[in-house]
Structure 1
Amino acid sequence: MSDLFQIIYRSRPFGFDETSLAGILLDARRCNTRDAITGALVCRHDIFVQLLEGPEANVRAAFQRIERDDRHVNVVQLVGEAVSERLFGDWAMLHDPAESEIWSEAEMADGAAERATPEEVRAMFAALRVAQGEGRMDA
């Protein structure tokens, strides 16, 4: 049986700017490579939505680090489950600037993130994977 586990969460950025985002991506890619975790981060000044996948203990530990990270506020786990395969197996951490696969700012203001079902969030990441193609985008 596979030990492959996936967590998807959302949070609000605290002090979001390009320098902060670059630091988050650098940390994520370094730690994820070390811990055999792959995934994607969709971000904008008003929201982070991230998918982490890999060995269950490693994914849970990464999520606990994120919950303690002061660059995130209001961290909410949306999905936490065993999976049979990775969605972002080629990416230590894909970065998407939230231009097409996430709720608009108006939808966010109307509570879309709070109403999203696990199925809708998974579908968002599946669409992101298709949009990115098979190439690596973690550099």
Structure 2
Amino acid sequence: MRTQGATIITDLTQLIYVSQPFGYESMILSGILNDARRCNLRDDITGALICRHDIYLQLLEGPSERIDATFTRISHDDRHLQVNTLIRRQVADRMFGNWAMLHDPVESLIWTKEQIADGVLDRLSPIEIIGMFESVSRNARPEHAN
């Protein structure tokens, strides 16, 4: 955050994307979470990852340039297929400020495998997607923390 005259300018970007796991297994997920937490601490990025064998749904928040660099790395990571940005917006506050990367083991994801395959995320409004992450943030348990 910087100030310009009496105006406070924030450069806090929130990005939500979806991808499909390639070769989903616990070791791959652990690697993704460890990499994310290490890089996110370094880059002042926070967020949450909701995942299961058929979907990664992730919210990232931090400085715009660092979000862009992180998303570029994710887009080129062969552990992710069909990476698709759902929402990108400027925000005043972090939703997951206490987590370099919260892992939600799909307790918040209410859609079936069939609904995901049928494109349910393409039909949700940004408000519905953000609302789901707000619920994850409110209900996060310490065992899912960094």
Smaller-chain TM-score bracket: over 0.9
Partner of 2:4: none
Match 1:38 to one of 34, 46, 51:
46
Partner of 1:138: 145
Partner of 2:86: 78
SS of equivalent residue, structure 2 residue 29? helix
Match 1:63 to one of 71, 78, 83:
71
Query: Any unmatched runs of 5+ in structure 1?
Result: none
Describe how 1:8-27 pairs up with structure 2 within 5 A.
8-27=16-35
Residues 28-67 of structure 1 show CA distances to partners (whole Å, capped at 9, x for unaligned) of: 0000000000000000000000000001100111001000
Task: Give the alignment's TM-score, normalised by structure 1.
Answer: 0.93
CA contact (8 A) 1:52 1:59 kept: yes
Percent identity between matched residues is 51
Q: Distance in 2 between matches of 1:114 and 1:19?
A: 29
Query: Following TM superposition, by how much is the alpha carbon of 1:130 offset from its aligned partner in structure 2, in angstroms?
Result: 1.1
* CA spacing shift, 1:33–1:102, aligned 2, 3 Å: farther
CA contact (8 A) 2:108 2:132 kept: no
Superposition RMSD in Å: 1.4
Query: Any unmatched runs of 5+ in structure 2?
Result: 1-8
Computing the radius of gyration over CA atoms, which structure comes out larger, 1 or 2? 2
Residue 43 of structure 1 aligns with an amino acid whose one-letter code is C
SS of equivalent residue, structure 1 residue 52? strand
Query: Following TM superposition, by how much is the alpha carbon of 1:131 offset from its aligned partner in structure 2, in angstroms?
Result: 1.2
- Please tell me whether residue 124 in structure 1 is matched to residue 132 in structure 2: yes
CA contact (8 A) 1:38 1:52 kept: yes
CA contact (8 A) 1:13 1:46 kept: yes
Residue 70 of structure 2 aligns with an amino acid whose one-letter code is A
Q: Distance in 1 between matches of 2:62 and 2:143?
A: 17
CA contact (8 A) 1:91 1:137 kept: no
Task: Give the alignment's TM-score, normalised by structure 2.
Answer: 0.89
Query: Following TM superposition, by how much is the alpha carbon of 1:136 offset from its aligned partner in structure 2, in angstroms?
Result: 7.5
Residues 65-111 of structure 1 show CA distances to partners (whole Å, capped at 9, x for unaligned) of: 00000000000001111101000000000000112334222322332
SS of equivalent residue, structure 1 residue 85? coil
User: How many equivalent residue pairs?
Assistant: 138
